[in-house]
C-alpha cells in the first residue's frame, strides 16, 4: 500500500490523460472505434445542422490520417503526439455533441454553430468577439442576435 501511486499530478492532468489515450490505442485500438462512432454520428445529423459539421468532418479525416501515419512510428514519436491526438479527439467529441444538441431547437443550433466555429476556426484574435456578442443567447437563454455570416 505504501508504494501505491495515488495521484499523478506531477505530470499534469492533460499529459496523464494523453498517455492513457495512447495506452488504450495500443492495447485496444480504441481510436478505430472512436473514429467509426464519430463518423456514424456525423452521418446521422439532420440537414439543418449538417452544413455546420464540415470542419468537424475535416477534423475527423485529419485525425484518422494522422493516426495512420503515427501507427508505425517509434514509441517516443507516438508519445510526443499523444496530447495533440487526445485534444483532437476531445474537440471532435464535444463538437459532435453540440451538433446533435443543435438539432433540438433554433437556440441550440445557434450555440452549436458558435461552438464549432470557436473550436475549428479559432485564431489568436477573434475580430468579431462572437462570444461577447452572443452572450445573451448562450448564458441568459435569450433570443439570438443577427445571424453570423459564414466565412
Q: What are 67-122's pLDDT values in tens digits?
A: 999 999 999 999 999 999 999 999 999 999 999 999 999 999 999 999 999 999 87
Residue 144 within any structural domain of the chain: no
Residue 127 within any structural domain of the chain: no
Position 11 scores a pLDDT of 61
Range of 107's domain? Answer: 9-120
Residue 129 within any structural domain of the chain: no
Position 143 scores a pLDDT of 59
Q: Is the pLDDT of residue 25 over 70?
A: yes
Average pLDDT over residues 39-61: 98
Residue 148 within any structural domain of the chain: no
All three cell numbers of 95, joined, read 463538437
Distance CA 133, CA 113 (A): 14
pTM for this model (two decimals): 0.81
Residue 149 within any structural domain of the chain: no
Residue 91 within any structural domain of the chain: yes
Distance CA 125, CA 110 (A): 21
Q: Is the pLDDT of residue 64 over 60?
A: yes
Counting the structural domains of the chain, the total is: 1
Residue 24 within any structural domain of the chain: yes
Residue 140 within any structural domain of the chain: no
Mean pLDDT (the chain, rounded) = 88
Distance CA 10, CA 112 (A): 35
Amino acid at each position: 500500500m505504501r508504494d501505491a501511486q495515488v495521484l499523478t499530478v506531477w505530470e499534469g492532468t492533460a499529459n496523464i490523460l494523453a498517455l492513457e489515450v495512447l495506452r488504450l490505442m495500443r492495447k485496444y485500438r480504441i481510436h478505430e472505434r472512436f473514429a467509426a462512432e464519430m463518423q456514424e454520428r456525423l452521418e446521422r445529423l439532420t440537414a439543418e445542422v449538417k452544413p455546420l459539421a464540415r470542419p468537424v468532418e475535416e477534423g475527423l479525416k485529419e485525425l484518422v490520417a494522422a493516426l495512420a501515419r503515427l501507427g508505425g512510428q517509434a514509441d517516443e514519436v507516438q508519445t510526443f503526439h499523444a496530447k495533440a491526438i487526445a485534444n483532437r479527439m476531445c474537440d471532435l467529441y464535444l463538437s459532435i455533441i453540440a451538433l446533435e444538441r443543435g438539432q433540438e431547437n433554433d437556440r441550440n443550433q445557434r450555440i452549436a454553430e458558435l461552438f464549432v466555429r470557436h473550436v475549428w476556426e479559432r485564431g489568436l484574435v477573434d475580430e468579431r468577439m462572437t462570444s461577447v456578442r452572443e452572450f445573451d443567447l448562450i448564458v441568459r437563454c435569450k433570443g439570438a442576435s443577427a445571424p453570423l455570416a459564414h466565412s
